[in-house]
Amino acid sequence: MKNKISVTVNGKQYEGEVEGRELLVNYLREHLSLTGTHIGCDTSSCGACTIHMNGHAVKSCTVLAAQADGASITTVEGLATNGELHPIQEGFKEEHGLQCGFCTPGMMMTAVDLLKDNSDPSEHEIRDALEGNFCRCTGYHNIVKSIQHAAKKMNGVTA
């Protein structure tokens, strides 16, 4: 059975039909061609598919597309505004917070959510907040620094 849904993704309104079992991550990737959101596992463990739904970070493999009806979604493609990188994107670039780039979108979406709740997290708090996101390249070292970089920028601290 198909379900009609209406979602706002990165500020744009979409109407669509999805199967009841269809995951939000599939909807984003297959229907909307927003392939920046990645699938890294099948157990909701890795966090590569993390997006924002109504302002909160969620794993889009754990949400049915039908559940997103009426929701406002932000994906990695919607982080930059008018071509200007979000501080978290800048942080990842400046601090070499990515290597292969596959986990990066999910990492950044989780980090933005953390910084919304805690504008000046300690290293321990950052590591704690990343418990649902795997990275196999960086050893997390520079991801922590990237998030600290973004926090400083967002708090108006100049390097």
What is the binding site for another protein (CB under 8 A)?
Answer: 19, 21, 29, 33-43, 45-46, 48, 75-77, 79-80, 85, 89, 92-94, 96, 98-105, 108, 123-124, 126-128, 130-131, 133-144
Comparing CA positions, the residue from 76, 97, 82, 87 lying closest to residue 142 is 97
Which one, 104 or 115, has the nearer CB to another protein? 104
CA distance 37 to 108: 11
Where do the DSSP E strands lie in 25-112?
50-53, 56-59, 72-74
DSSP annotation of 22 reads -
Min CB(66)–another protein separation in Å: 15
Name the residue among 107, 121, 108, 109 with its Cα closest to residue 151: 121
69 vs 125 by CB, closer to another protein: 125
Of 20 and 70, CB closest to another protein: 20
Q: Which of 26, 106, 81 is nearest to 5 (CA)?
A: 26
Least separation in angstroms between CB 120 and another protein: 17
State in angstroms the smallest separation of the CB of 78 from another protein. Answer: 9
Quote the CA–CA distance of 159 and 153 in Å, as a whole number.
8
Cβ distance to another protein smaller for residue 143 or 151: 143
DSSP 8-state secondary structure symbol assigned to residue 136: S
Please state, in angstroms and as integers, the Cα–Cα distance from residue 65 to each residue in 11, 26, 68, 115, following that order.
Answer: 17, 8, 5, 26
Q: Least distance from C-beta 9 to another protein, angstroms?
A: 12
Minimum distance from CB of 87 to another protein (Å)? 11
- Between 71 and 147, whose beta carbon lies closer to another protein? 147
